[in-house]
Amino acid sequence: MAGKPKLYYFNGRGKMESIRWLLAAAGVEFEEEFLETREQYEKLLQDGSLLFQQVPMVEIDGMKMVQTRAILNYIAAKYNLYGKDLKERALIDMYVGGTDDLMGFILMFPFLSAEDKEKQHAFIVQKATSRYFPAYEKVLKDHGHDFLVGNNFSWADVHLLEAILMVEEKKSDVLSGFPQLQAFKARISSIPTIKKFLEPGSQRKPVPDDKYVETVRRVLCMYYDVKAN
Amino acid sequence: MAAKPKLHYPNGRGRMESIRWLLAAAGVEFDECFLETKDHLTKLKKDGFLLFQQVPMVEIDGMKMVQTRAILNYIAAKYNLYGKDLKERALIDMYVEGLLDLNELIMHHCIQPADKKEQHLATIEDKATNRYFPVFEKVLKDHGQDFLVGNQFSRADVQLLETILMAEECKPDILAQFPLLQSFKARISNIPTIKKFLQPGSQRKPPLKEEDLPKIMKIFH
């Protein structure tokens, strides 16, 4: 029997979180090895486990996969969450690209100075409410289906829910102008695998804190300042 | 008969260049509509053509596609440059994503402030020669084949060539320690569709000149 996928990353969200979401949505159990020390990271480097010297890395189906998008593409295709044909895949890729950009603004947030955090907070909310959420609201309104693409649950739905929840952590009423997204959020959250992932005790990671930032900086020797958008 | 794909972007490389490369490699003719002014971009937005109000945008097969990766994925799959199965696709994706990271770094060189340019160039050289190129040199060495994945021409080969050439524009002898990448470069450059794209008069765009940067910035800001 194939081993479970094994995730190598810090004990926090970062770039690995979308992968956790997708595996969970697909009902795939996975293991995690958390990077706590520089030594662990250097061992992975020396073993040649990290193709471009970076994490995320996921051991899956005999491969040591790196590059978040490559890993997500593989999981989505393997577990039939990538649409039924090229055109559906194109839509899914477009939608995921948008939510990826949006979540990217939030990804760097914990590493910003206090002053930049304030600016970035406003930036995130502005982009979410004027660029991204309206696009998905319209998609749902126009076809009236439960899911974003092809009337079928896909990676795009998982990714959008993840993005919605992350933005709501920044501004709890951010969905107030988006009735379709509110209903979408409730609907997707009720899917059994997603519901399970949203419960306490799951492998979903909490909002990053100072300890997380400290760990990342220490393990990667990443002590430079991160700039806001 | 299907219309040619139509690319909407300023007249320069930016994020559209990888798409031009891939279409050219696949032997697909395409038209281009160059954004010259902010008004032009505003009109595209108002007409509802840009899903996230951004370019690149490519009209292809009845779709107005946005998001560089989505567009590249679609073209690669459509023209059989995406491997023959999931595992080959996984390898291609890993290689392409790594190269896109390096591309991104090189792309940002032109917008560096004058006092940061030299350091940034050093970063590009360091990453190219210590992180990215050794990987591809090893891949080619280990399997001894002409192409990166599955002994067949794919988007990974196109992307690697594009990135090598861009890196060489930063430092002409950047492939000095990489003999297999040197022969790879020669080999892939000779593929007829690629050879054509590398000739003067093709739709390949030159590096951004510093004096052209303000005009481009005005379109977006």
Of A69, A94, A135, the CB nearest to B65: A94
Q: Which of A67, A63, A62, A109 is nearest to A213 (CA)?
A: A109
For the segment A111-165, what is each residue's pLDDT rounded down to a tens digit?
999 999 999 999 999 999 999 999 999 999 999 999 999 999 999 999 999 999 9
Q: Is A67 an interface residue toward B (CB < 8 Å)?
A: yes
For the segment A167-223, what is each residue's pLDDT rounded down to a tens digit?
999 999 999 999 999 999 999 999 999 999 999 999 999 999 999 999 999 999 988
Domain covering B86-190 in this structure, CATH number = 1.20.1050.10
Listed by start position, the domains of chain B span 6-79+198-220, 86-190
Q: Provide the pLDDT confidence category of residue B131 given band limits of 50, 70 and 90.
A: very high
H or E element at residue A68: helix A68-78
Largest CA distance in chain A: 52
**Contacts by B119-127, CB closer than 8 A, 24 or more apart:** B121/B170, B121/B171, B124/B167, B124/B170, B124/B171, B125/B170, B125/B171, B125/B174, B127/B102
**Tokens found for residue A154:** 């896909």
CA atoms of A70 and A75, how far apart (whole Å):
9
Q: Which amino acid is at B204?
A: R
CA atoms of A205 and A225, how far apart (whole Å):
24
Q: Is A49 an interface residue toward B (CB < 8 Å)?
A: no
Q: Can you list the positions of beta strands (E) in chain A?
A: 6-9, 31-34, 57-60, 63-66
Flag if A52 and B101 touch (Cβ within 8 Å).
Answer: yes
CA atoms of B181 and B184, how far apart (whole Å):
5
Measured in whole angstroms, the distance separating CA B208 from the mean position of its chain's CA atoms is 14
Residue A116 three-state SS? helix
CA atoms of B2 and B20, how far apart (whole Å):
18
Flag if A67 and B94 touch (Cβ within 8 Å).
Answer: yes
Surface of A (151-210) touching B: CB under 8 A:
none
Report chain A residues whose CB lies below 8 A from the CB of B97. 67-70
Which residue segments constitute the domains of chain A, with CATH numbers given?
Answer: 6-79+199-220 (3.40.30.10), 86-190 (1.20.1050.10)
**DSSP-assigned letters across all residues of A145-172:** -SSSBTTB--HHHHHHHHHHHHHHHH-T
Q: Provide the pLDDT confidence category of residue A2 given band limits of 50, 70 and 90.
A: low
Of B65, B77, B135, the CB nearest to A51: B135
- At B109 the pLDDT is 87
Report chain A residues whose CB lies below 8 A from the CB of B90. 63, 65, 70, 73-74
Report chain B residues whose CB lies below 8 A from the CB of A89. 73-74, 77
Percent of the residues in chain A that have a pLDDT greater than 70, as a whole number: 99
Q: Is B97 an interface residue toward A (CB < 8 Å)?
A: yes
Please state the CATH superfamily assignment of the domain spanning residues B6-79+198-220 in this structure: Glutaredoxin (3.40.30.10)
CA atoms of B185 and B208, how far apart (whole Å):
23
Q: How far is A8 from chain B (nearest CA, A)?
A: 16
For the segment A48-96, what is each residue's pLDDT rounded down to a tens digit?
999 999 999 999 999 999 999 999 999 999 999 999 999 999 999 999 9
Report chain A residues whose CB lies below 8 A from the CB of B138. none
